[in-house]
Chain A
Amino acid sequence: MHETDLAVIGSGPAGMAAAAEAAGLGLRVALFDDQPRPGGQAYRDVDRVGPMRGAVLGPDFVEGRRLTAALDDPRISHLGGAGVWAIEPGFTICYSQAGEARLLRARRVLLATGALERPMPVPGWTLPGVMTAGAGQILLKQAGLVPRRSVLVGTGPLLYLFAVQMVRAGINPAALIETQTRGDLARALRHMGGLFGGWGYMTEGWRLLRVLQRAGVPRIVGAHEIAIEGEDRAEAVRFRRGGAQHRLPCDTVFLHHGVVPNPQAARSLGLDHRWEPRQQCFVPVCDAWGEAASAEGGVEGVFVAGDGAGIGGARAAELQGRLAALRIAEGLDRIGNEECDGRAKPLRRQLRRELAVRPFLDAAYPPFAEALRPDDTTMVCRCEEVTAGEIRRAAAQGCPGPNRLKGFLRAGMGPCQGRVCGLAVTQILAEATGQSPDETGYFHIRPPIKPLTLGALAALAETGEAAGTDKTAPGQGDAA
């Protein structure tokens, strides 16, 4: 089996920065990504973006080329289009690429698997034409597609950025329907300290809002009772503001009320997680280097960097990736303790500055309350079509948590393995049973965490490959 020093899972800002830093310190790195090309979601396919699209997306996007360029190092092997379906302690990385299952041994693992959109179950959210705002941005970044007649629904600065990108592309969204209230903003102002620390982000935010205002994009703040209407696809968004009902026709609806760590790889390794009340999501328990706390009998040598460790955004992710790489290099005796600390110091200072604005943002743009408590008829698990009411009924019949739920309903057992609904299921159950999210827990995630065809697995068996054997895997998989 091929071997490498460090396996990095995910080639977004955290993964790319970590790979470059680690390679610079002499480590061989395998950088895995299920997308064919590096960039992650923040810098999706940035290398293939032409000047026109670059201008629409803005300098913060094309900035990502600095990170992709740094991957041009003989010690880094970028494994694109590679779905990592299992990580076995020790470590063996099991992945499929080009229809073949392959194995790679690594001494350390860094999870840089980024964020997922917070589930936003509102009536009609499964209709074709409804997507996450992140998906809309990806269509723009990767394919240069702009929706003809769209509405943005939810809350958070990402909605402003995406709307401004549409304005720059020449097709304004029909409206922004925002769920935060003026009261949220007032409460957020308590975090003034963070405001000053994150001054750059604040002025950027105001600049975006000014562009929208000048372009005449209507903003509706404090919307509620949101539902998407349509027969076979989205046709309109219905909502209420104050006492009045409104209906806005459109073809495309973009939903967004924040992002949360993508838990799949970290959960599959059994890492400890805790509920983060400010971000309203679970985060893996890690030290200041991103090294996951190893519970008794748990795995050691796993690091988490970027949004997967708690939401901080692309620039923070990059810094966290570098910090993790330093510590990993130290652990593998590439650098001494002092050099590690010395190099880390300026990174930590920058990281503090990057994260300063977060408490303000989390308070000013809280998750949409109705989507955290969907009404009984709203579908929560998209794969198996399970409603919030069914989940509450299961709770009333004595179901205490997500894993026992599988005995009642098929929620979380579909192909997405709870990636979309997991957090919503925990929160609905927690509210119904009166337990905390920590007590309620989350779906057990077991490998394979990515689809694996039987053909690919059979091919693996034929080569006599199995974790622990020493044969050479076919094809690529080695670093340098």
Chain B
Amino acid sequence: MDQQTTKQWAFFRRKHTRLFLVLLSALMLYMGTASLMNFQTRSLLGIGSGFAWMATNFVPNQASLSLLPAILYQLWRTFLIGISAATCAGVVAFLLALMGARNIGCRVTLVRVVIRGFASVLRNVPIVAWAMILLFSFKQNDLTGFLALFVMNLGFLIRAFIETIEDFDGDKVLALKATGATYGQIVVQAVLPEVSVPIVEWLLYMIENNIRDATLVGLLTGTGIGFLFDLYYKGLQYGAAGLVVLVIAILVIGIELSASKIGRVIA
């Protein structure tokens, strides 16, 4: 073997060894945690009967279909709250992200760090905790649900927007600066057109997420579709509860599909 092939062989052997080690450690991680939790891999076999019970009981029946108008009404309200929370958070997040982005943001490092930290705190407190905290202050109503989603969205979007804006090429800012453009002009005429597509995509993703989360939030705050689910579930109306889940899934999938369409239109 000449030197070239030896080198090649060694390179690929290193790659294969690394892949093998990664797979091995994943397996060991599973076995380790499973044994710590006393989790028997065999018990996965019992999952089948659980699903069977679920399938027979949660399938919507005649009685639950009569509840459809009420369910759709609550779904509609939830949808609106999800949109308004995401868009309100989007506006605030965009302004904060402009200040927090390294390339065109505030030159004072402390300000940027504070904005990132603020976003991180909002994001890392679980939404359930936010709902509970806000519940004490604002009682059971739509506003509480809205605020819980808003706070979560704000934390998430600030970070997403900062990353989007930081992808923007600083030389383009330079090009407009060279024409004598002001900061506001550069933001609206250069940054905004370049980041509008990813920003709209993030917003749509947030709305989709909000409808899923609204179930959980509503459960706690006693509003919207989550409240209905809770009501039916505790009232042993499993068929109706299943119907709630079904319409939520349909709505979320619908948004997901239209999101990619909308993305293409504005691109």
A binds B: no
- Interface residue ranges, A against B (CB under 8 Å): none
Interface residues of B (CB under 8 A from A): none
